[in-house]
Amino acid sequence: MRHKENVLVFGELLLRFSSADEKFINKNHTVSLFPGGSEANVSASLGQLNVPVSYLTCVPDNALAANALTALSELGVNTSKTVLRGSRMGLYFLLSANGLSSGQVVYDRKFSSFSNLKPGVIDWDEMMKDQTWFHWTALTPALNENMAGVCLEALTAARKNGLKISVDLNYRNRLWDFGREPIEIMPELVKYCDVIMGNIWAANKMLGTGIDDTLDRNTSVVDYQEHSAKTAQEIFSLYPQCKHVANTFRFMDNPTHNLFYGAYHTSDGNYNSKIYETNEVVDRIGSGDAFMAGLIYGLISFENGTDIIETATGSGYQKLFVKGDFGDGSFY
């Protein structure tokens, strides 16, 4: 293994309510409650992989938030940087037990403690002391204009303090509802990043890279891999700071089916993972976040591009068999 990094992850800690009945409101059944959120999920996986990781979020000072933070702490995540302010946590409702059927998500994140953050509240220089890596996702600037400003503030500080920066291009159209399109916000933020993870469709939507509109479920793996390499080269050209690009490919033909593979690119090399397929999915929520954690772990631990993408993809695939948002830190 190569040298260790100290990873600082920034994002909203959420509570997930899952129902076994897609009608959700039914006097005859209960709901399951899990801590989650993309960035918390990444932190949980890194903690279990013994990567030094600190999670920075903003939550109210109440028992519900404390319980969720404790769950992260028990997985090896440092939560001491948490900002306590405001009066409510962000929530999301999954209208199935595990995202296996329609998996429709309803967000309740407006006016949460985190979404009410504004530039100038967090002392980023202080938060980044002794940190070497900063991770964020596109979910945060999707919340509102102020959060986009907070991200810019954080990224400017991370670059000034010499941290490596990674981003997950999580695209959720239900979140981008404050009058700005991702392409208006994300390029200014992504230009600071050394590592960009997502998929070819998110890169098109957020960064303006090209996309072939004929791509569909019947497109071959080889064709998708070639498109991934082409998208990566566009990203390297548009964002010179970026040295690593990874894309996931996930397809679902029925509620318990998942076809999963990944691609990793540098300016001079393209690496493709094994192809994983299962009809025994337990919980598909958080598989992309486990992939992201595996990618960070791979970049920290290995020189070889094949080892890096196999670690990331194996981590994402393994999450399909773990209940809740958090992965278990293992590779398939």
217: tokens are 């479920």
Write down the pLDDT at residue 280. 92
Per DSSP bridges, beta strands 164-168 and 31-36 are unpaired
Write down the pLDDT at residue 214. 95
Chain centroid, CA 251 distance in Å: 18
Please tell me what DSSP assigns to residue 35. Answer: E
Task: Express as a percent the part of the chain with pLDDT over 70.
Answer: 93
Write down the pLDDT at residue 256. 83
Q: Assess whether pLDDT exceeds 80 at residue 28.
A: no
pLDDT, one tens digit per residue, over 82-125 is 999 999 999 998 876 555 545 578 899 999 999 999 999 999 99
Write down the pLDDT at residue 96. 67
Q: Assess whether pLDDT exceeds 90 at residue 326.
A: yes
pLDDT, one tens digit per residue, over 155-185 is 999 999 999 999 999 999 889 999 999 999 9
* Beta carbons of 310 and 274 less than 8 angstroms apart: yes
Q: Assess whether pLDDT exceeds 80 at residue 194.
A: yes
pLDDT greater at residue 26 or residue 39? 39
Q: Alpha-carbon distance 118 to 129, whole Å?
A: 21
Per-residue pLDDT band for 26 (boundaries 50, 70, 90) equals low
Q: Assess whether pLDDT exceeds 90 at residue 307.
A: yes
CA geometry: angle 147, 182, 170, nearest 5 deg: 80
282: tokens are 């337990």
* Beta carbons of 173 and 133 less than 8 angstroms apart: no
Would you put residue 180 in left (φ > 0), alpha (ψ -120 to 50) or beta?
A: beta
* Beta carbons of 280 and 254 less than 8 angstroms apart: no
pLDDT, one tens digit per residue, over 219-231 is 999 999 999 999 9
Residue 240's Cβ-count burial label (10 Å; 0-12, 13-18, 19+) is: exposed
Q: Assess whether pLDDT exceeds 60 at residue 22.
A: no
pLDDT greater at residue 270 or residue 93? 270
Q: How far is CA 109 from CA 44, 152, 176, 301, in A?
A: 21, 20, 12, 35
* Beta carbons of 10 and 136 less than 8 angstroms apart: yes
pLDDT greater at residue 120 or residue 329? 120
Q: How many helices and strands in the chain, by DSSP H and E?
A: 9, 16
Calculate the average pLDDT of the chain.
93
Q: Assess whether pLDDT exceeds 70 at residue 25.
A: no
Write down the pLDDT at residue 27. 62
Q: What mean pLDDT is predicted for residues 19-28? A: 62
Write down the pLDDT at residue 57. 98
Q: Assess whether pLDDT exceeds 70 at residue 42.
A: yes
Q: What mean pLDDT is predicted for residues 288-317? A: 97
Q: Alpha-carbon distance 305 to 236, whole Å?
A: 17
Lowest mean pLDDT among 26-35, 46-55, 240-249: 26-35
Domains, the chain, ordered by start: 7-319 (3.40.1190.20)
Dihedral (Cα; 7, 11, 12, 17), 10-degree rounding? -70
Write down the pLDDT at residue 253. 87
Per-residue pLDDT band for 32 (boundaries 50, 70, 90) equals confident
